[in-house]
Amino acid sequence: MTTAPTAGSGTAEPGDGTPRRKAVVVLVSIALAALLADLFTKHLALVTLDDRGPVRLLGGAVYLTLTRNSGAAWSIGADHTWVFPLITIGVVGWIVWMAVRLRSLPWAVSLGLVLGGALGNLTDRIFRAPGHFVGHVVDMVSLFDPYGQVWPVFNLADSALVSGVLLAVLLELTGRQRDGSRAGAPRAAETAAGDRDAAGAQPRERA
C-alpha cells in the first residue's frame, strides 16, 4: 500500500524543508532589488554630482564623488574593458546553473546579491559610453579620501557583489550546502542509525 505524497514533496529539501521554488524566488527578488537600487543610485549620482566637487559625509569617512571606471578596482584592466562583460556573463550563467539545485535560503540571499551586483555593472558595460560592451561603470562612493586614494571608488552594485561573496564564504566555512543540508550531517545521521540498530540487536542476542 502506498501513501500519497504530501504537497510540495517533489521540491522540498530534506535538510531544511525549503522548496526550490521559494529559494529561487528569494534569489530573483534580491537580485532585482539590488539591480534597481543600483540603477537608481547611479542615475541620482549622474544628476546631482556631475560637474560638482566631492561631497563630504560623516566627518570625511565617506565622500560622494562621481567617477567613470573603464576597469576593475583601482582601474585595473582599464585597457581591456571588453573582458569584464564576458566574465560577468559567465558568473550569471554559473548562478543560473546553481539555482537548479538551490534549496537554501541563505545561499539564495548570497547568490541574489552577487547576481544583482553583477547585472548592475554589466548594464553599464553594455549601455553606457563609449560603446556597447566597453562602457564605463559609474562609481560614486569613496572612503576616507575624496578621490579613492585609500579605497577604490565603488557603487551599490559593488557593495552587493562583495556582500554576496562574503556571505558565500561564511556559508562554506559553516558547512551550509546549497541544497539546504549541512556538511557532515548525513554521516552523523548514518552513525546514529547504526547505533540504534546495534542497541536493538543486543536483546535478541541475549535471548
pLDDT of the residue at 110: 98
* CA nearest neighbour of 114 among 157, 51, 74, 153: 157
pLDDT of the residue at 71: 81
Q: Is the pLDDT of residue 207 over 60?
A: no
pLDDT of the residue at 21: 93
Q: Is the pLDDT of residue 186 over 70?
A: no
pLDDT of the residue at 183: 85
Q: Is the pLDDT of residue 129 over 70?
A: yes
Q: Is 54 exposed, middle or buried (0-12, 13-18, 19+ CB in 10 A)?
A: middle
Averaged over 133-160, what is the pLDDT? 96
* CA nearest neighbour of 117 among 30, 24, 43: 30
Dihedral over Cα of 159, 162, 164, 167: its sign: negative
Q: Which is more confidently placed, 84 or 201?
A: 84
Catalytic residues: 139, 158
Residues 143/58, Cβ–Cβ less than 8 Å? no
Averaged over 135-158, what is the pLDDT? 96
SS3 115: helix
- Mean confidence (pLDDT) of the chain: 86
User: What are the boundaries of each domain within the chain?
Assistant: 20-192
Q: Is 191 exposed, middle or buried (0-12, 13-18, 19+ CB in 10 A)?
A: exposed
Confidence band of 184 (pLDDT split at 50, 70, 90): confident
pLDDT in tens, 25-82: 999 999 999 999 999 999 999 999 999 999 999 999 999 999 999 987 656 767 778 8
Residue-level length of the chain: 207
Confidence band of 148 (pLDDT split at 50, 70, 90): very high
User: For the chain, what percent of residues have pLDDT higher than 90?
Assistant: 70
Q: Is the pLDDT of residue 8 over 70?
A: no
Q: How large is the greatest C-alpha to C-alpha distance in the chain, in angstroms?
A: 92
* CA nearest neighbour of 102 among 28, 192, 189, 179: 179
pTM of the model: 0.80
User: CA 146, CA 188: separation in Å to the nearest integer?
Assistant: 53
User: CA 10, CA 2: separation in Å to the nearest integer?
Assistant: 16
User: CA 168, CA 176: separation in Å to the nearest integer?
Assistant: 9
